[in-house]
Chain A
Amino acid sequence: MLRAMLRGLLSHKLRLLLSALAVVLGTMFMSAAFVAGDTMAKGFEQLFATVNENLDVQVTARNDAPESEQGSEIVTAFVDRATADRLENVPGVADATPHVSTDGARVVGKNGKVVASNGPPRFGIGWVEGDPLIQLRDGEAPDAPDEIAINAGLAKTTGYRVGDLVDVITLQPRRTFRLAGIFGYPGGRDSLGGETTVAFPMATAQQLMLGAPGKYTNVDVQADPGVSDVDLKRRVQAEVGPGYVVKTREETARDQASDVQGFITVLKGGLTGFALVGLFTGAFLIFNTFSMLVAQRTRELALYRSFGAGRWQVNRAVLAESVLFGLVASTVGLILGIGVGWLLRKLLESFANTSLPVTGVVVRPYVVVITLLVGTLFTVLAALIPALRASRVAPIAAMRDAATPDRPLGRLTAIGAVVFAVGVLLLGLKLTGTTKGALWPMLGGGAALAFLGVAMLAPAISRPVTGLFGRLFGRSMPGRLGTRNTGRNPRRTAVTAAALMIGVTLATGAGVFAASAKSGISDVFANDLNAQLIVGVDFATGGTGGFLPSKVDQMKAVPGVETAMALQGDNVLLGDRNAFVSATDLAAARVIFEMEPEGGELRPLSTGELVVDEDTARTRGWQVGDTVPMRTARGGDYTERVVGIYRKNNVVSGALVSPADAATFRTPYAQQGFVKVADDGQVGAVEARLDNLFADNPEVTVSDQSALIAQSSRFLDVVLTILNVLLGLTILVAVLGVINTLLLSIFERTREIGLVRAIGMSRTQLGRMITVESILISVFGVLLGIVAGVALGIAIVQAVGGEFLHLTIPWWYLAVTFALAFVAGVLAAILPAIRAARLNVLEAIAYE
């Protein structure tokens, strides 16, 4: 029986192909994410194995100061020579070599700009003669204080050659060096993982990179033969004591990889999320296909039943079909996904400017299992209801005309309302933070239920809505017929449209959020910031740059400037927890940030004094006059007394301290400067003068507020674009669904098409009729999506709240989305219209 049914299944090739494509796309995305992630993880593992080849145990100084998001690779606690020397004498130690290696050496390229980093650190190291990791390729080792060597990757991107003069920014401002040598790494690599490295003579490195002559960042220890890493670690730890962290090679590699692992996890998670949304969309398509197949085969199924096949047998046969279908589609998706994973890896490698030491791709068994399982599961779940319906076919149906009347929608609508309510409740609870518990399962589950609910509610409203939009197409006969046809099978129209709704809802929700964030940001800057010009670090140059706060005096002296300030921020240990603290001149900040005292006073701060915003003061329980200990990254310990509490303010928050207390921050640079110009008409002239002032610093740019707003908008736009591209997959699947539905409609209405052709409808008119149906389904889906998406966006904006979100509906974005529905409708109609036009009139009209 199964074989007979499979033959029936295969007779609808094109329709099956479209549905299969939906599963293929979803599983492809998923396996590609896994494969790319695993391959990169393996690559980095091997990379760090190379880096650590020559050490068995690494010693660094313990640092209790908190880490910072930016410049996390900057080492701020040091080891001295004596420690290394002591280690030489520990039994089991063959060799102990002190090194300097830390983030923050920024090379200025030939174009005068700082060489950008897309994430990997920009190391400055001390040259160690005989270091097996560093292999000199050209020139010689840097000997003199004004000489450097750089890695070959950096030399290639900048075009610098031995003998060139190269500017480097370190803890100290821009300084010019002579390029003495170019080096590579074992295995002929130009770069390890996309990082750049500048090697100075050791003493220079200590001064420029650490600001601590005679200090080192780490000691690499090699074991005597026969001494295990773990053994060696214990002996070394015993020698150096608790002030130092001792790690085995394995532990070191794991720590080095943790940043990368975090990125890979996010990548895998994000792409898998989109793949699941794609599969969820595909499930609607599969549901439609199987419903149609069952409906078309009612006679056939009834025949089996009248031969004595049990309900369960029919049910099982349809489910078996779906399992087979899901397996085949998932397998194709898996195979394609492995290829796409390879492409994705190449893409990421070129983005990070590196190539990983692993050939081909890594396909772990779990990827195969999960991909096939998930792909098949979605298919079977989608086919479940059609399978049940198939089993309810009565044997008598074999003798009757196959056409079943429209079932009433009342019960479906009621169930839909309940499902929708449950989904919205789940989402609401999570968004408002009323309940704790798993974030993503609740959000994902809530959204999925809400979508299903809307899909069930949609049939009830599909006819009026499509009828209304049908009027757009005037009173022409093709338009009218297309509109009527759309309303003919509300369930099918609704399911098809609902699939389209999913992607559109998410895209619209994101659009509302982004628009709200944009307008929030610009409102805050425009209303609350009393400065016309902003000196900022260009994001592209990385997080470690800035300008020396002492520059503020020169900024204030620029003609036309009323006042100016700098913000030098860092993560510190404040009291018992990690806090972001900014150092600034409070006299200027009071004016520029329009700060108002809530308690105490807001006067220029001396060392050991801080002011804080009212919210932070309340949560920390601080009063004016309280003292709190502060420990900075470079080991400064301060006792800060709260001298003032300022009112909640949109542009500044947290603790502010005296510039004197920032001397031991991670970097000596201020990240932001604000300039208030006395006369608004002078802003352009002052901007030019400030540009001049910062001419030798390629890491900062002077801009007006609009440039800053544009910069933050640009970031949001990039995020939104990436999101939309990924959601495009979902929408593509849904458009396949529209094609599928149209093909079925044409198949079902073969005789009608034959008739209208016989009585004089031209192929063009026929194509228009199908296009109208296609557009109406698409418009209905997109409309549902826009309404749901705006609701979702509003809900998220309200739930997140805050001054930087001003609820804004992006009408343009919505209009473009709506217009795209028309385009999608027209495109989806092409194939079905061609099919319909090719029908032979005579055969079509005689079609049973």
Chain B
Amino acid sequence: MTANGTAARADQIWKVYGTGEAQVAALRGVSVTFARSMYTAIMGPSGSGKSTLMHCLAGLDTVDAGTVWVGDTKVTGLGDAGLTQLRRDRIGFIFQQYNLLPTLSAEENITLPLAIAGRKPDPEWYATVIGTVGLEDRLHHRPSELSGGQQQRVACARALVSRPEVIFADEPTGNLDSRSGNEVLTFLRDSVRRFGQTIVMVTHDPNAASYADRVVFLVDGQIVDELASPTAAAVLDQMKRLDTHA
């Protein structure tokens, strides 16, 4: 696989919590590759290590063994400054809790990563992003004046606006009703299809996973299976099977 086609990659990574008797391995030698311009969902039951995997890939957490790559950059071993720069310039985040800054307007929240980096948004791209998430008339509202779905769309726009190499989304629909959730998922899929964005999404919702191009299944800190072009039914089916195995 060429570096050109890979957005992020984990190579035999281990993550262990605690010591001695209380030791728990969250990741046990996980190797996985995320291709560019693909929408990948990471699925698995609670405690399977899917969130840990995402955190390690995104440089929010460190691994105990193995190597993580984003593009052609080796993430493992980077210091705080290096990780900060990586997150700032090459990674986007979407969280379950939206995590908008209450003092900033929607517009300011969206451009926050660029402002932190001291860059101006590309006006054309900015207009495209705003248009896609459908927030034109809400830009000057504070987060407290927006609905949950609107807030999460702001968060999505914030992740997209700096055109990161990869966006990590952690249960982005976990706090939303199904209609708002579907809107956000559609929007994420569109950004992959139309703009070639790479997205890695952690979820336990088969419906959410069905929007992805590919689903990776994680059980007990190991990748056990994957599906290409999944449907909700197929994902659910697979999950049931994994549950009984576990």
CB distance from A759 to the nearest CB of B (A): 5
From B77-85, B196-204, B229-237, B238-246, give the one contacting chain A. B77-85
Interface locus among B97-105, B129-137, B174-182: B97-105
Name the distance in Å between A72's Cβ and chain B's nearest Cβ: 66
Interface residues of A (CB under 8 A from B): 476-478, 480-481, 484-485, 487-488, 751-752, 754-763, 765, 841-842, 845
Q: A755-B95, A758-B87, A763-B81 are in contact. List 7 more A-B contacts (CB 8 A).
A: A481-B101, A488-B102, A752-B102, A759-B87, A759-B92, A765-B116, A845-B95
Residues of B within 8 A of A765 (CB): 116
Tell me the complex Cα distance, A321–B48, Å: 45
- Please list the residues of chain B having a beta carbon within 8 angstroms of any beta carbon in chain A: 55, 60-61, 80-81, 84-85, 87-89, 91-93, 95, 97, 99, 101-104, 112-113, 115-118, 158
- Inter-subunit contact A762/B84 (CB<8 Å): yes
Q: Which of B87, B103, B118, B158 contacts A485 (CB 8 A)?
A: B103
CB pair B116–A484 under 8 Å, yes or no, is no
| Cβ-defined partner of A842 (8 Å) among B55, B81, B102, B117 | B55
Contact of A845 with B84 in the complex, beta carbons under 8 Å: no
B115-A760 in contact (CB<8A) = no
| Inter-chain contact A842/B61, CB cutoff 8 Å | yes
Contact A760:B113 (CB < 8 A) given known A841-B60, A842-B55, A845-B95: yes
Q: Once the chains bind, are A756 and B60 in contact (CB under 8 Å)?
A: no
Q: CA–CA, A310 to B101, complex, Å?
A: 37
Residue of B nearest to A475 (CB): B115
A481 partner residues in chain B, CB cutoff 8 A = 101, 103-104
Report chain B residues within 8 Å CB of A752. Answer: 99, 101-102
CB neighbours (8 Å) of A756 from chain B are 101, 112, 116
- Determine the chain A residues whose CB is within 8 A of the CB of B113 once the complex forms: 759-760
> Is there contact, CB below 8 Å, between A759 and B103?
no
- A845 and B88 contacting across the interface, CB-CB below 8 Å: no
> Chain B residues near A477 (CB, 8 Å)?
112, 115-116, 118
> Are the C-beta atoms of B93 and A759 separated by less than 8 Å?
yes
Do A760 and B99 have beta carbons less than 8 Å apart? no
Across the interface, do B93 and A758 meet the contact criterion of CB distance under 8 Å? Answer: yes
| Interfacial chain A residues near B118, Cβ < 8 Å | 476-477
Q: Which of A488, A757, A759 contacts B112 (CB 8 A)?
A: A759
Q: Output the nearest chain B residue to A842 by Cβ-Cβ distance.
A: B60
Q: Are A760 and B85 in contact (CB under 8 A)?
A: yes
Q: Which residues of the other chain, A, contact B93 by a CB distance below 8 angstroms?
A: 758-759
Decide: B117 and A760 in contact? CB cutoff 8 A. yes
23 A-B pairs in the complex with CB atoms less than 8 angstroms apart: A480-B115, A481-B101, A485-B103, A488-B103, A751-B97, A756-B101, A756-B112, A756-B116, A758-B60, A759-B87, A759-B92, A759-B93, A759-B112, A759-B116, A760-B85, A760-B87, A760-B113, A762-B84, A762-B85, A762-B88, A763-B80, A841-B60, A845-B95
How distant is the Cα of A319 from the Cα of B203 in the complex, in angstroms? 48
* Complex CA distance for A758 and B113, rounded to whole angstroms: 10
CB-defined contacts of B85 to chain A, threshold 8 Å: 760, 762
Is B101 in contact with A759, judged by CB distance below 8 angstroms? no
Across-interface contacts of B91 in A (CB, < 8 A): 760
Partner of B104, one of A484, A758, A841, A845: A484
Q: In the complex, are the beta carbons of A760 and B88 less than 8 A apart?
A: yes
Complex contacts, B104 vs chain A, CB 8 Å: 481, 484
Residues A755 and B84 in contact in the complex (CB < 8 Å), given A477-B112, A842-B61 = no
- With the chains together, A478 CA to B99 CA distance in Å? 17
Whether A760 lies near B60 (C-beta < 8 A) is no
**B173 CB to closest chain A CB, in angstroms?**
18
How near does chain B come to A74, taking the closest CB pair, in angstroms? 72
Given the complex of chains A and B, what is the CA–CA distance between A762 and B85 in angstroms? 8
What residue in chain A is nearest B90 (Cβ atoms)?
Answer: A760
A-B pairs with the 8 shortest C-beta distances?
A760-B88, A484-B103, A477-B115, A755-B99, A760-B87, A762-B84, A759-B113, A842-B60
Q: Is the CB of A760 within 8 A of B101?
A: no
Considering the complex, give the chain B residue whose CB is closest to the CB of A760.
B88
The reply to whether B88 and A751 contact each other, CB–CB distance below 8 Å, is: no
Q: Which residues of A contact B115 (CB under 8 A)?
A: 476-477, 480
Q: Please give the distance in Å from A214's CB to the nearest CB on chain B.
A: 91
Give chain B residues whose Cβ lies under 8 Å from the Cβ of A762: 81, 84-85, 88
C-alpha gap A476/B114 in the complex (Å): 11
State in angstroms the CA–CA spacing of A488 and B85 once bound together: 29
Check if A751 sits within 8 Å of B87, measured CB to CB: no
Q: Are B99 and A845 in contact (CB under 8 A)?
A: yes
Kindly list chain B residues whose C-beta atoms are within 8 Å of the C-beta of A845.
60, 95, 99
Shortest CB distance A425–B (Å): 39
| Residues of A with C-beta under 8 A to B92 | 759
Q: Tell me the minimal C-beta distance from A763 to chain B in angstroms.
A: 6
Q: How far is the CB of A682 from chain B (nearest CB, A)?
A: 68
